[in-house]
Amino acid sequence: MEERLLERPPDYSTTPRRGVTEWRNPRNGFYVTRLHYTADPTKRESDWKERTSANLSLRAWQREYEISWSTPEGEPVIPEFDAGIHVQETEIARDRRLLRFWDFGAVSPVVLFAQLSIYGQLQFHRELCPFNTPLDQLLPIVKAISMDLVVRADHFDAGDPEAESTGSLGSIADVLSRQSIVMHTNRPGTELSYASFRSLFLKQLFIPRSGHQPAVIVSPRCPNLIEALSGGFHLSPHPPYRPVKVHPHKDLVDAARYGHDNLDAAGADTQARWKKLSEGDRLW
């Protein structure tokens, strides 16, 4: 149900009184009422919130009182992500190479569109995560978005090692190659992959005229990726505390870390060459 997943009411909602929001689902006609604790006048004072939240963590408060569906009981898989730091507006360089990071999940295929700045900052510009879309229908959408973002065609594609597997359309790699897509599928191992990706959110770069900036930023135009990194992709609260496979949250984070794995695999020499090209003629 879409109402269950809404972080905020739709634009066509009404607010008859404080703490109460109402709307009608245009698809099925269901009437929906969203009730916040502030509907009770006795709970609007700051001292009530202070008393009630005294023994709760921020995550527990968000989950129990603020109707936050992106704050599950389990801890985030990427706790280093901080939306206040890492979510920033990004500027697409149309003459710079586009990085496309893929996950071929059967339920939620994902493609993330990113670029590497001349200072080495990884910038996530857009996301694509349609529900239950076969590869032959996904590829034209990816192509259209890519053409809209940049004028170049020599994209860097990296993703799930499942690209080597075989599906109803044949080998995924073969389907991609027919579209001139060469997929980089290097994997350093799951634990190392997660550790490396998490460490990225702790790094900073010095950017002239801007000072120190995070090594990775995510555009507000990637709401599902932001939600996934904020805790939508989380650990089970029960032993052995493994990541919960919630779609598309897991697929989005996997696509991002697969991409990061393969950028790392390019090696220091190649990274230095890319940076030199960027500084000289913005070809990267």
Does some domain include residue 77? no
Does some domain include residue 75? no
What pLDDT sits at residue 34?
A: 83
> How many CA atoms are closer than 13 Å to the CA of 1, on its beta-carbon side?
9
Query: Do 36 and 107 lie in a common domain?
Result: no
Query: Do 103 and 36 lie in a common domain?
Result: no
What pLDDT sits at residue 59?
A: 60
What pLDDT sits at residue 39?
A: 87
CB 102 within 8 A of CB 160: yes
Distance CA 156, CA 97 (A): 7
**CATH number, domain with residue 130:** 3.30.420.280
pLDDT digits (tens, 9 = 90+) for 137-146: 999 999 999 9
Please report which helix (H) or strand (E) contains residue 226, including its range: helix 223-227
Query: Do 141 and 259 lie in a common domain?
Result: yes
Going along the chain, which residue ranges are E strands? 14-17, 20-24, 31-35, 99-103, 110-116, 122-128, 156-159, 166-167, 170-171, 183-184, 204-207, 211-214, 216-218
pLDDT digits (tens, 9 = 90+) for 193-219: 999 999 999 999 999 988 999 999 999
Query: Do 51 and 107 lie in a common domain?
Result: no
> How many CA atoms are closer than 13 Å to the CA of 135, on its beta-carbon side?
23
What pLDDT sits at residue 261?
A: 93
What pLDDT sits at residue 147?
A: 96
DSSP one-letter code for 232: I
Does some domain include residue 70? no
Query: Do 261 and 182 lie in a common domain?
Result: yes
CB 154 within 8 A of CB 99: no
Query: Do 190 and 266 lie in a common domain?
Result: yes
Query: Do 14 and 111 lie in a common domain?
Result: no
Q: What is the mean predicted confidence (pLDDT) over 67-77? A: 68
pLDDT digits (tens, 9 = 90+) for 78-103: 999 998 899 999 999 999 999 999 99
What pLDDT sits at residue 5?
A: 47
Does some domain include residue 220? yes
Q: Decide if pLDDT at 282 tops 70.
A: no
pLDDT digits (tens, 9 = 90+) for 6-58: 566 777 778 888 888 888 877 788 888 888 888 888 888 888 888 888 876 56
% of the chain surpassing 70 pLDDT: 82
Higher pLDDT, 196 or 171: 196
Pairing of strands 20-24, 31-35: antiparallel
Does some domain include residue 261? yes
Query: Do 43 and 107 lie in a common domain?
Result: no
What pLDDT sits at residue 1?
A: 36
What pLDDT sits at residue 283?
A: 44
Distance CA 51, CA 80 (A): 29
CB 23 within 8 A of CB 32: yes
Query: Do 102 and 219 lie in a common domain?
Result: yes
Query: Do 97 and 189 lie in a common domain?
Result: yes
Q: What is the mean predicted confidence (pLDDT) over 177-198? A: 90
pLDDT digits (tens, 9 = 90+) for 112-167: 999 999 999 999 999 999 988 888 899 999 999 999 999 998 999 999 877 556 55
Domain span at residue 18?
2-65
Question: Across-strand partners of 40?
Answer: none
Query: Do 195 and 157 lie in a common domain?
Result: yes
Does some domain include residue 100? yes
Total domains present in the chain:
2
Q: Band of the pLDDT at 278, cuts 50, 70, 90?
A: low
Does some domain include residue 258? yes
Does some domain include residue 251? yes
Distance CA 33, CA 49 (A): 23
Domain stops at, among 37, 65, 93 = 65
Query: Do 59 and 136 lie in a common domain?
Result: no
3-class DSSP state of 234? strand
